Chains A and B, each alone.
Chain A
Amino acid sequence: MGWVRRLVPVLLLLVGHAALAQDRVLNVYNWTDYIDPKVLERFTSETGIKVRYDVYDSLETLEGKLLAGNSGYDIVVPTAEPTFSRLIAAKALLPLDRSKIPHWSNLDPKLMQRVEVSDPGNRNGAIYLWGTIGLGMIPERIQALDPGAPLDSWDLLLKPEHAKKLADCGISVMDSAIDTIPSVLKYLGRNPESTDAKDLADVERTLMTIRPYIRTFASGGAVEALAGGQTCLSMTYSGDVIQAAARAKEAGQKTVRYVAPKEFAALTFDMLAVPADAPHPAEAMQFINFLLQPDVMAAITNQVRYPNAIPASRDAITPEVRDDPNVYPDTASPRFFTVRATPQAADRLRTRMWARFKAGH
């Protein structure tokens, strides 16, 4: 039976697929480009725990995996609103065991308090990295088209007389209703969590006045476009702009800058959390404890350029990240705000409005 013998390697390959590692492992599911790889190596060499590290590029992917159940992941990094609070409501997260996380005390209590709107008592998550939502720009090109434009103000984007002049060099807005609408509500002097239909209509009217001048709605690629000079003004996450700035510098392009506008800016938090059905919860607590050390967090911030929530890490952060108040803002300032995700019925209204805005009519 020669063909049986020939089939054996194929069968072995199939079985090899299913073979499970016997040593201690930890399955991490994080945003793409969101860690310093050396940190993972250090964790493995200190603890002997092997890390299997996968990445996602959208919260939808993460939610889909977790809500189907038995995802197999031990650590996930959902953004506080909307995903983290939704996962808490769905009881998809395991409350953290703080007795296993002695480095918890390193966390900035003021920042952790900000997250309590999503997670009362901070039971389900620790802040991994955070940032603000503001404006990424190429000041030189903006000033050339619109001399005297207010670079530090939301007016630059939301007033049509400025947006109109910048249409030629390219404006992009993040394709995310949940990140954009609260800032516009606040700009109009309303409650950023408002679910009132009239407030929403005003937001739509404001957005429609600048709609003709928007070149793209970027969910990915905003960094690339800004760094390469295909856009000159981009409403997006702070850390993405800082990475664009580094790339532009490396490529010899015009200077890219991030501004958290002087009026206000929304804070976003990415949380370290453990799925309720995580196969290795003990290793997960150990990993969170490891990450909350000042030198580890400094290394991560230096690599991905998002601020962390460990004040003791400040000294080890490179000056260009640490000393730029736009990158590392003083969160005590009242101009930074956080919002809760809206209830589902209101969400539907927002989604429809957003679709109309994107379509332009």
Chain B
Amino acid sequence: MRRGWFLNVCLLLGYAFLYVPVLLLVATSFNPNRLTTVLSGFSLRWYAALWADDKLIEAALLSLRIAAVSATGATVLGTIAGFALARFGRFPGRGAFAALLSARLVLPDVLVGLSLLLLFVQMEQTIGWPQGRGALTITLAHVSVSLSYVAIVIEARLTDAGSELEDAAMDLGASPLAAFGLVTLPLLAPALLSGWLLAFTLSLDDLVVATFVSGPGASTLPMVVFSALRLGVTPELNALATVILALVSVSLGGAWFLQQRAGRAVVPGQAGA
């Protein structure tokens, strides 16, 4: 099909809208000038500064750690919730459970952050746990925020896939647990991965909730970056963004490559069957 010049221009503009800011950010990270807005040559000065900036590196590592742990927690709990909604039929109160789960999606972050802060303060006063606030409370808060997203991804996938394969496995003698482990989970693998990635991204992105529930010594990357804005950003942040961008591109590319390979391995098998 031949596209007209108009559609081509639209395509170009659309992608430019998405990626020109990112490219600009990468380009200015190689600018030696202290002022992001004044271009003057090429240098790796800000990458060196970034390498020496313990505070920023520490915050980045903390953010990645919280994101990984909370995404895993949210995926486990969200899968259970999604499975219950998709497979347990029309149990009483199902509508209410489903609504309560998705209602969390529309709650503003400020409310979630404030209410979790009050919860943690109350809990510390009454049962003495969690002691103080820090990485642990941020992780718990992020699990609570991203759980609903994962549940919805999983539920959708399970509803799409139907329950025939599981029924067949159980007809052939598998226990419900074995059917879940041997049939449902592998079937869910792509949804689990995308749910996990979604939760990971939400956690890495979050500024508002983390600001409320963090404590001494636990500043996540968005918190550090945002507080640095008062005196204007230095290109060190551009360098950091470029590094993160590179890491994300490489891991996404890697995941795609693995999926392609897995896909090729499956196709001949299916053809032979």
Which residues in A have some Cβ–Cβ distance to B below 8 Å? 10, 13-14, 17-18, 20, 27, 29, 31-33, 52, 54-58, 61, 64, 68-73, 219-221, 223-225, 227-228, 230, 240, 243, 247-248, 250-253, 279
Contacts and interface: CB of A to CB of B under 8 A. Distances in A.
Interface string B184-208: 0000000000000000000000000
Contacts of A69: 121
B134 A17 contact: yes
A240 B231 contact: yes
Contacts of A64: 212
Given A13-B65, A57-B227, A251-B38, 20 more contacts: A13-B69, A14-B136, A33-B228, A55-B227, A68-B117, A70-B121, A70-B132, A71-B215, A72-B132, A72-B133, A72-B134, A72-B216, A220-B229, A221-B232, A224-B233, A247-B34, A247-B232, A248-B35, A250-B34, A251-B40
Nearest to A54: B219
Given A68-B121, A72-B133, A27 B35 contact: no
14 contacts: A13-B65, A14-B139, A20-B132, A27-B216, A29-B216, A32-B230, A52-B216, A54-B218, A56-B227, A57-B230, A70-B124, A220-B230, A247-B34, A247-B232
Contacts of B134: 17, 72
B72 to A, nearest CB: 6
B33 interface: yes
B217 A27 contact: yes
Contacts of A240: 231
Nearest to A249: B34
Interface in B4-50: 33-38, 40
B211 interface: yes
Smallest CB-CB A-B distances: 3 pairs: A224-B232, A27-B216, A52-B217
A73 B217 CA distance: 10
B100 interface: no
B70 to A, nearest CB: 10
A70 B124 CA distance: 9
Interface in B223-270: 224, 226-233
B131 interface: yes
Contact of A72 (B37, B40, B215): B215
Contacts, number: 104
B229 A57 contact: yes
A29 B218 CA distance: 11
Nearest to A74: B216
A309 B25 CA distance: 41
Q: Of B117, B211, B217, which is in contact with the most chain A CB atoms at under 10 Å from its CB? A: B217
Contacts of B212: 64
A253 B229 contact: no
B130 interface: yes
A224 B105 CA distance: 36
Nearest to B37: A228
B118 interface: yes
B11 to A, nearest CB: 33
A240 B232 CA distance: 11
A77 to B, nearest CB: 13
B221 interface: no
B72 A10 contact: yes
B216 A54 contact: yes
Contacts of B231: 32-33, 220, 223-224, 240, 243
Contacts of A54: 216-219
B270 to A, nearest CB: 29
B135 interface: yes
Contacts of B35: 224, 227-228, 247-248, 251, 253
Nearest to A304: B231
Contacts of B131: 18, 20
Contacts of A225: 232
Contact of A61 (B117, B135, B211): B211
A91 B218 CA distance: 26
Nearest to B137: A17
Contacts of B230: 31-33, 57-58, 219-221
Contacts of A20: 131-132
Contacts of B37: 224, 228, 230
Contacts of B124: 70
A243 B34 CA distance: 12
A227 B232 CA distance: 10
Given A13-B65, A14-B69, A72-B133, A253 B38 contact: yes
A59 to B, nearest CB: 12
Contacts of B118: 68
A179 to B, nearest CB: 14
A17 B139 contact: yes
A5 to B, nearest CB: 16
B69 A10 contact: yes
Contacts of B217: 27, 52, 54
Contacts of A223: 231-232
Task: Identify the interface centre among B38, B118, B130, B216: most chain A CB within 10 Å of its CB.
Answer: B216
